[in-house]
Amino acid sequence: MSQFDEIINREGTRALKLEYRERLFGKDDVIPLWVADMDFAAPPAVREALSKRMEHPIFGYTNRPDAFFKSIMGWLKRRFDWEVDQGWIEFSPGVVPNLGLAVQAFTQPGEGVIIQPPVYPPFFGVVRDFNREVVENPLKETDEGYVMDFEHFEKVCSVPQNKLFLLCHPHNPVGRVWTPEELLRMGDICRRNKVTIISDEIHADLVLFGHQHRPLATISPEIADITVTCMAPSKTFNLAGLSTSYMIASNPELLKAMRGQVLGYHLHMGNTFGALALEAAYNASEDWLEDLKTYLEGNYHLVLEYLEKYLPEVKVPRLEATYLLWMDFRAWGMNQNELKSFMAQKAGLGLNDGNTFGREGRGFMRMNLASPRSVIAEAMQRIVDARNKN
């Protein structure tokens, strides 16, 4: 039995994915496979580090010593062969806050920010919330999966008022790991057109089936010079509630602009537990991560087996990274409200509405695979049973 087979009761822990069921799905007994955290225990090293710190009764302001930064630098070197200077790193409470800070740091109201839908819903929000213009460069569906529309990307980047590009890498929800060739072409277009890139690489550690993640800033020094990379241990080790993230920029002007936002909003303090968890995760939890990735691959194969056997008309793109599955139900001919109602009311599942990822998400739902295999099997059986009754 795998450690990830254990079903852990999260009731009473203020878990968002449970507390919001009634509000989002109209009932509180759906299987919650929506918000992107995992139903797995954090690595033992993380729990041990936090438990030890809890023995001291004072939880006042603390700093982040060299050990915090060395943990990040060591992780990036081991996992991605990326040599990062400590002076390139700045703390932040989360990757999504980083996106909002970047929009304010590098654009003015009314200017354009480029995104690639279907994409994680906050990519829209952080642009509109600060009165910037959302500029869409939709991904293209092909028989081989989703790809970037480079011709259109060149067109929108060439518009002088479009100053910033928010890259999702690996991509949520379509699960692509962008190749070095794709990243080079995309980065060169931005460089030629003086478009700054914010690369959201929060899923970088969760590459599956032998794929390799290349941080955008490692593609070339010229691309690194226009890039701010945003990372965190939160998705990797199930630490989202500890609000510890960081950004990396080798260009001192870009880092200064982002650091100014962090300091301006007084976000630089963080919390004691988040920093300790990051250090324990990066320094002592790599074996745990490899076991997790193998387990997620098994969950993905389980879903494919159900679809091939019972619902061959439902399609999913090849999953290269993340634990988020982009499920295409367009063959059912339902409108989006009908599809949402079917999943919640008839199948008893809480999934993400594809429409929130952009108009390209109509007919889709996103499923979180990071739950015990028995839960994923139950979810798939519910879809099959409900479809047979419909």
275 Cβ contact list (under 8 Å, min separation 6):
62, 64, 68, 244
d(CA 253, CA 233): 26
pTM equals 0.97
d(CA 234, CA 36): 10
pLDDT tens digits for range 80-107:
999 999 999 999 999 999 999 999 999 9
- With both helix axes pointing from N to C terminus, report the angle between 373-389 and 286-310 in degrees, rounded to the nearest 10: 20
Q: Residue 50: inside a domain, yes or no?
A: no
**In a shared domain, residues 248 and 177:** yes
pLDDT tens digits for range 133-173:
999 999 999 988 999 999 999 999 999 999 999 999 999 99
pLDDT tens digits for range 188-229:
999 999 999 999 999 999 999 999 999 999 999 999 999 999
304 Cβ contact list (under 8 Å, min separation 6):
316
d(CA 93, CA 232): 9
**In a shared domain, residues 98 and 238:** yes
pLDDT of 390 > 80? The answer is no
Please report the pLDDT score of residue 75 as a whole number.
98
pLDDT tens digits for range 335-368:
999 999 999 999 999 999 999 999 999 999 999 9
Q: Residues 31-36: what's their mean pLDDT? A: 96
Any idea which residue has 């790599």 for tokens?
Answer: 286
Please report the pLDDT score of residue 227 as a whole number.
98
Torsion-angle region of residue 39: left (phi > 0), alpha (psi -120 to 50) or beta? alpha
d(CA 41, CA 280): 14
**In a shared domain, residues 252 and 314:** no
Q: Is 202 helix (H, G, I), strand (E, B) or coil?
A: coil
From 283, 299, 324, the end of a domain falls on: 283
**In a shared domain, residues 66 and 13:** no
pLDDT tens digits for range 224-254:
999 999 999 999 999 999 999 999 999 999 9
**In a shared domain, residues 82 and 153:** yes
- Both structure tokens of 124: 């829209």
Any idea which residue has 């139950």 for tokens?
Answer: 378
> Residue 152: which CATH number?
3.40.640.10
Q: Residues 317-321: what's their mean pLDDT? A: 96
Any idea which residue has 């990274």 for tokens?
Answer: 321
> Residue 296: which CATH number?
3.90.1150.10
How, if at all, do strands 245-248 and 227-231 pair? antiparallel
From 259, 283, 307, the end of a domain falls on: 283
Return mean pLDDT, the chain.
Answer: 97
Give the end-to-end CA distance of the chain in Å, rounded to a whole number.
Answer: 36
**In a shared domain, residues 26 and 83:** no
Q: 329: domain range?
A: 3-43+286-389
Q: Residue 53: inside a domain, yes or no?
A: no
d(CA 111, CA 194): 14
**In a shared domain, residues 199 and 333:** no
Looking at residue 178, its amino acid is W
- Both structure tokens of 276: 């300790």
What is the DSSP secondary structure assignment for residue 207, as one 8-state letter?
Answer: B
How many domains does the structure of the chain reveal? Answer: 2
Mind spelling out the 3-state secondary structure of 348-380?
CEECEEHHHHCHHHCCEEEEECCCCHHHHHHHH
Find the helix or strand (DSSP H, E) in which 167 lies: strand 162-168
**In a shared domain, residues 78 and 101:** yes
Which residue pairs, CB below 8 angstroms and at least 24 apart, start in 239-242?
239/42, 239/46, 239/274, 239/277, 239/278, 239/281, 240/36, 240/37, 241/37, 242/271, 242/273, 242/274, 242/277
Please report the pLDDT score of residue 270 as a whole number.
86
Please report the pLDDT score of residue 269 as a whole number.
86
pLDDT tens digits for range 42-83:
999 999 999 999 999 999 998 899 999 999 999 999 999 999
